[in-house]
Amino acid sequence: MKTDRFIIVRGAGDLATGTIHRLWSAGFFVMALETGRPAAIRRKAALSEAVYDGRAKVENMKGVRVFAPNEAWPVMSAGCVPVLVDSEGASISELKPAVVVDAILAKKNTGTNRAMAPLTIALGPGFAAGDDVDAVIETMRGHNLGRIIIEGSALPNTGVPGSIRGYAAERVIHAPSAGTIQTIRRIGDLVEKGETLAWIRNGQEKIAVGATLDGVLRGLIRSGYPVSKGLKIADIDPRKEERGNCFTISDKARCIGGSVLELVVKHMCRMERGE
């Protein structure tokens, strides 16, 4: 295996998975690092589900959970993506990847730095290109989505999702209370405004989580997850005819992933030229 084509992506949520898929499709060996309890909403398009189920498949790409850094190589040799629980990135120094991509989307730097690899890339706000990492990718929807930033930072997070058919903030549902969520609908279901999607239990209290608009349930946090008040737990797409989109990589994720791939290929070309 060519270790100069080995890339570690911190995070395996839906946007991170879009980046992983771009790199994996281009022939790179890619490994994902995740937290022990991922909170992905678009779970059907996220390799982070491998943490719970041992395996996850997104489009034509398979993720396999591994339990030690040295288990990653056989998985990548078999054409799959190893997913390791390592939220601190402790395995990076041992594995020595050619590239590290921070795709955690935490809106802040949780520890990624330029010493981790010859090329370091971060997605979204919270990083300064040229200081924290070598480059930053803009993640906010709009004209600059996917723009490569070599100096400076991405736009700050507004907390408002992109508009689809005139709906923005209404598309995302947040937990009305802390507790353990019990879902009663599934990703891909057609739902109506006001319909109960899940219950949150906190002791004897049971709080209903209702749909905020008519549409397709595009994302829903895993049942049994201990949620905090205000945590994003569901996402509704008002385009009822787009049910298949719930299970595939989004346009936004593909765009961001393409920019990461551009940076990686450019870096590899420079290395081959001895620059």
Polymer length in residues for the chain:
275
What is the pLDDT, as a whole number, of residue 162? 67
CATH number of this structure's domain 3-157+250-272: 3.40.50
3 state SS of 29: strand
Q: Where are the domains of the chain?
A: 3-157+250-272, 169-238
Place of tokens 């924290």: 132
Residues 122-157 have pLDDT tens digits of: 999 999 999 999 999 999 999 999 999 999 999 987
**CA distances to 32, 72, 85, 168 from 66, in Å:** 10, 7, 8, 37
Q: Which residues contact 59 (CB under 8 A, 6 or more apart)?
A: 21, 248, 249
**From CA 105, how far away is CA 15, in angstroms rounded?**
8
244, two tokens: 């298949």
Cα-based torsion angle of the residue sequence 86, 88, 92, 94 in order, rounded to the nearest 10 degrees: -80
Residue 242's CB is within 10 A of a number of other CB atoms, namely 13
- Which of 115-119, 249-253, 270-274 shows the lowest per-residue confidence on average (mean pLDDT)? 270-274
Average the pLDDT over 64-80 and give the result: 97
pLDDT tens per residue across span 109-122: 999 999 999 999 99
Answer whether 3-157+250-272 and 169-238 agree in fold.
Answer: no
Beta bridge partners of 10: 33, 102
Whole-number average pLDDT of the chain: 94
The C-alpha angle 173, 166, 247, rounded to 5 degrees, equals 55
pLDDT of residue 160: 65
Amino acid making up residue 129: A
**Residues 197-231 pLDDT 10s:** 999 999 889 999 999 999 999 999 999 999 999 99
Measured in degrees and rounded to the nearest 5, phi and psi for residue 31 equal -125, 140
Q: Which CATH architecture has domain 169-238?
A: Beta Barrel (2.40)
**Which residues are bridge partners to 236 per DSSP?**
217
What pLDDT is attached to residue 271?
A: 85
Report how far residue 222's alpha carbon sits from residue 59's, in angstroms, rounded to the nearest whole number.
Answer: 20
Q: If you average pLDDT over residues 31-49, what whole number do you get?
A: 97
Would you tell me the crossing angle of helices 14-25 and 251-272 to the nearest 10 degrees? 40
